[in-house]
Amino acid sequence: MSSVTETERAWLAGFWDGEGSIALFHNQEKNGSDKIKPVLTAYNTDYGLINKALDIFSRADCNPYIVLRKQSSKNSRHRDCVEIKFSSVTSILPALQLMLPYLSGVKRAKGEILLRYLLRRQEKYAKGDQSYDERDWSDLEEIRSSETTRAAPEVNSTLWKKI
């Protein structure tokens, strides 16, 4: 991370604030077991922005999964989209730590919950424990709760005009 400047970290966090998501998902595996899946994703059609984000991640030794999503040929206004995705504890942790100090609002709140979850999972993995406990399920619920979702400003606000 030493080759990444604070300005680049702040830029990356701003990009993620606007284009990305920070989440925990609940999946049920084919064998019936329940899993909690952490995910960081961002989508964009601007290859310049995608390449800048990937360059910063690369210099910080973060290795996302990259997917080119072809858009529907039914609408000529649609363009191809690139997804940047981190979906494992070991890949998400350094990427999140890179951006977290500069994230804002909902993404910051979700990032803090996700960081707490990831650090606890990492500690469990080191002991050979893959089980989920009450705190893991609590983090899943907290990250999905109304406390970390967007609320519109008051309609009578001088900055928010009802249309």
DSSP 8-state code for residue 153: P
Mean pLDDT of the chain: 88
Q: Which token pair is 145?
A: 């709760």
The CATH code of the domain that includes 32 is 3.10.28.10
Given pLDDT bands bounded at 50, 70 and 90, which one contains residue 26? very high
The pLDDT value recorded for residue 56 is: 97
DSSP 8-state code for residue 78: -
For residue 148, tell me if it sits in a domain.
Answer: no
Of 105, 96, 108, give the one whose Cα is nearest residue 150.
Answer: 105
For residue 155, tell me if it sits in a domain.
Answer: no
pLDDT in tens, 27-43: 988 898 899 999 999 99
Q: Is 139 exposed, middle or buried (0-12, 13-18, 19+ CB in 10 A)?
A: buried
Residues spanned by the domain of 76? 6-135
Which residues, other chains included, contact 20 with Cβ-Cβ below 8 Å and sequence gap of 6+?
A: 40, 41, 42, 84, 107
The pLDDT value recorded for residue 32 is: 87
For residue 163, tell me if it sits in a domain.
Answer: no
For residue 35, tell me if it sits in a domain.
Answer: yes
pLDDT in tens, 84-114: 999 999 999 999 999 999 999 999 999 999 9
pLDDT in tens, 131-154: 999 999 999 999 988 655 555 555
Interior angle at CA 129, CA 139 and CA 144, nearest 5: 15
Pairing label, strands 81-86, 34-44: antiparallel
Q: Give percent of the chain above pLDDT 70.
A: 83
Count of the separate structural domains present in the chain: 1
Question: Cβ(143)–Cβ(114) under 8 Å?
Answer: yes
pTM of the model: 0.83
